[in-house]
């Protein structure tokens, strides 16, 4: 298997794709991409260039103008592609949520983003007996940023705005953001 970052417009939707995504799921995926970044690569057949897993993420990347998406290429012939489509859908349908782990995860998340809080409440309400107490994010007034040999202090509001703009521009996490900060400071 090889991995690459490619333009989403170069990827082909599989004509036998089994999954239809409702608008609510698309919005939740956009929230994930904006807040976390790419948590999983797109799975693509190297033989045909067709998407095996990740149709919705590619569609959203095209819609919001994300220039590159992470891709894992697998060597499948057309029959194996169809089997993989079935297998990936079926195994997802068979999965269950572990309520103990869900409770731990939900109660460990601190957020001030209403979309994340709403999703957490929906998970908690779906499982009888689950105890969930939303935790607002700790209020921080100043943050120290260290990039290589440089350290500086900025207001939390400035940091959050800067970080959000960088994430939106790069749909990435800390290493890319740090690189962009250094570039904007003229240190690269």
Q: If we measure between CA atoms, which residue out of 72, 74, 96 comes closest to residue 83?
A: 74
Which residue matches tokens 């953001």? 177
The CATH fold assigned to 2-94 is 3.90.1530
pLDDT of residue 42: 94
Measured CA to CA, the distance from residue 79 to residue 157 in angstroms comes to: 53
- DSSP state for residue 185 in the 8-state scheme: T
CATH 3.90.1530.10 domain locations along the chain? 2-94
The predicted structure's pLDDT at residue 137: 63
Q: Which DSSP category does 136 fall into? A: P
Q: Is 75 exposed, middle or buried (0-12, 13-18, 19+ CB in 10 A)?
A: exposed
Per-residue pLDDT reduced to its tens digit, 22-65: 988 898 888 888 888 888 899 999 999 999 999 999 999 999 99
Q: For residue range 8-27, what is the model confidence (pLDDT) as tens digits?
A: 999 999 999 988 889 888 98
pLDDT for 180 = 67
In this prediction the pTM is 0.63
Distance, CA of 113 to CA of 135 (rounded, Å): 11
């Amino acid at each position: 298997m090889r991995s690459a970052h490619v333009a989403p417009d170069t990827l082909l939707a599989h004509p036998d794709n089994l999954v239809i995504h409702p608008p609510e799921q698309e919005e939740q995926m956009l929230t994930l991409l904006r807040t976390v970044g790419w948590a999983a690569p797109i799975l693509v057949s190297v033989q045909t260039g067709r998407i095996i897993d990740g149709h919705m993420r590619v569609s959203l990347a095209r819609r919001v103008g994300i220039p590159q998406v992470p891709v894992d290429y697998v060597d499948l012939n057309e029959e194996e592609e169809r089997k993989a489509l079935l297998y990936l859908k079926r195994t997802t349908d068979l999965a269950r949520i572990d309520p103990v782990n869900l409770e731990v995860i939900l109660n460990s998340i601190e957020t001030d983003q209403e979309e994340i809080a709403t999703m957490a409440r929906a998970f908690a309400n779906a499982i009888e007996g689950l105890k969930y107490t939303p935790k607002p994010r700790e209020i921080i007034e100043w943050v120290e940023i260290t990039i290589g040999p440089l350290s500086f202090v900025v207001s939390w509001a400035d940091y959050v705005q800067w970080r959000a703009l960088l994430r939106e521009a790069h749909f990435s996490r800390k290493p890319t953001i740090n690189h962009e900060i250094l570039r904007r400071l003229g240190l690269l």
